[in-house]
Structure 1
Amino acid sequence: MVLRDYFNVLRKNWLIIIVSTLLLLGGAAAWTFTRTPQYEATTQLFVSVRSGDSSAGELTQGSAYAQQAVASYMEIADSAIVLDTVREELDLTESRRELAKRISADSPQGTVLINIRATDPDPQQAALISDTTSAVLAEVITDQLEGVSSESPARVQIDIVQPADVPDAPITPRVWLNLVLGLVGGLALGITIALFRNILDTKVRTPEDVTTLTDLPVIGRIGRNPESSSDPLVAFTDPMSPLSEPYRALRTNLRYMMVDGSLNRVVITSATSGDGKSTIAANLAIVMADAGARTLLIDGDLRKPNVAQLFGIEGGVGLSDLLIGSVTQEEVIQQWGPRDVYLLPAGRIPPNPSELLSSEAMKQLLTEVFAAYDYVIIDAPPALSVTDPAILSRLTAGALVVVSAGRTRKGDLTEALGSIARINGHVLGIIMNRIPKIGTGTYYGSVSE
Structure 2
Amino acid sequence: MEETKEIRLDEISIWCILRDVVRNAWVVVLAVVAAYLGIAGVLGLLYEPVYTSSATLAVTARGNSGGAYSSLNITTQMADVFTEVFQSDVLREQIALDMGRDSVSGEITVSVISETNLVTLQVTSLTPQDAYEMIQSALRNYEGVSDYLFSNARLQIVQSPQIPYGPSNVQNIRRYQRLGMLGAGALVVACIALFNIMRFTVKTRKSAERNLDGRILGEIPFEQKYHSWKEALHRSKQALLIQSPAVSMQFAEALRRASARIEQHMRRRGQKVLIVTSIGENEGKSSVAANLAIALAEKGRRVLLVDGDLKKPAQYRVFDQQDAKLIQLSEWLESGKTFKGLLHFEKKSGIFCIFQKTSVRASGRLLKSDKMKSLMEACREQVDFIVIDTPPLAEVSDGELLLAYGDCALVVTRQDWVDVRILNDTADTVRQSQSEFLGFLLNAFHRDRLSALSRYGNYRHYRGSQEVPDGR
Classify 1:320/1:418 alpha carbon distance in 2 versus 1 (closer, same or farther; 3 Å).
Answer: farther
Give the CA deviation at 1:248. 0.9
Give the equivalent residue in structure 2 for 1:223.
224
Give the CA deviation at 1:200. 6.9
- How many residues end up aligned between the 2 structures? 370
Give the CA deviation at 1:83. 7.0
Q: Does 1:316 align with 2:327?
A: yes
Give the equivalent residue in structure 2 for 1:278.
286
Once the two structures are superposed, the pairs formed by residues 326-405 of structure 1 within 5 Å of their partners are 332-345=342-355, 352-353=365-366, 355-356=368-369, 361=374, 364=377, 368=381, 372-373=383-384, 376-390=386-400, 392=402, 395-403=406-414
Give the CA deviation at 1:239. 1.9
Q: The residue matched to 2:203 in structure 1 has which SS?
A: helix
Give the equivalent residue in structure 1 for 2:315.
307
- Equivalent AA in structure 2 for residue 271 of structure 1: I
Q: Does 1:421 align with 2:424?
A: no
How far apart, CA to CA, are the structure 1 residues paired with 2:317 and 2:336?
23
- Equivalent AA in structure 1 for residue 184 of structure 2: L
Q: Does 1:189 align with 2:184?
A: yes
Q: Tell which deviates more after alignment, 283-292 or 295-304.
A: 283-292
Give the CA deviation at 1:380. 0.3
How far apart, CA to CA, are the structure 1 residues paired with 2:154 and 2:251?
87
Give the equivalent residue in structure 2 for 1:60.
none
Give the equivalent residue in structure 2 for 1:268.
276
Give the CA deviation at 1:333. 2.6
Give the CA deviation at 1:273. 4.3
Equivalent of 2:262 in 258, 264, 288:
258
| Contact 1:404 1:432 survives alignment (8 Å) | yes
Classify 1:301/1:82 alpha carbon distance in 2 versus 1 (closer, same or farther; 3 Å).
Answer: same
- TM-score, normalized by length of structure 1? 0.54
Give the equivalent residue in structure 2 for 1:233.
239
Deviations 1:288-344 (A, max 9, x none): 54566543211122444443465425443548857x996776553321123412112
- Equivalent AA in structure 1 for residue 399 of structure 2: P
Once the two structures are superposed, the pairs formed by residues 113-128 of structure 1 within 5 Å of their partners are 117-118=122-123
Unaligned runs of 5+ in 1: 47-65, 89-94, 108-113, 121-126, 143-152, 439-443
| Contact 1:21 1:183 survives alignment (8 Å) | no
| Contact 1:134 1:160 survives alignment (8 Å) | no
- TM-score, normalized by length of structure 2? 0.52
Q: Does 1:295 align with 2:303?
A: yes
How far apart, CA to CA, are the structure 1 residues paired with 2:234 and 2:290?
12
What is the root-mean-square deviation of aligned Cα atoms in Å?
A: 6.5
Give the CA deviation at 1:397. 3.2
State the identity %: 14
Equivalent of 1:248 in 241, 252, 255:
252
| Contact 1:285 1:341 survives alignment (8 Å) | yes
| Contact 1:275 1:403 survives alignment (8 Å) | yes
Give the CA deviation at 1:345. 3.0
| Contact 1:275 1:402 survives alignment (8 Å) | yes
Once the two structures are superposed, the pairs formed by residues 27-46 of structure 1 within 5 Å of their partners are none
Equivalent of 1:11 in 15, 18, 24:
18
Q: The residue matched to 2:265 in structure 1 has which SS?
A: coil
- Equivalent AA in structure 2 for residue 352 of structure 1: R
Q: Tell which deviates more after alignment, 422-431 or 378-387.
A: 422-431
How far apart, CA to CA, are the structure 2 residues paired with 1:231 and 1:360?
36
Deviations 1:369-418 (A, max 9, x none): 6xx33x5422101211234434545734322325498xx6x46x854652
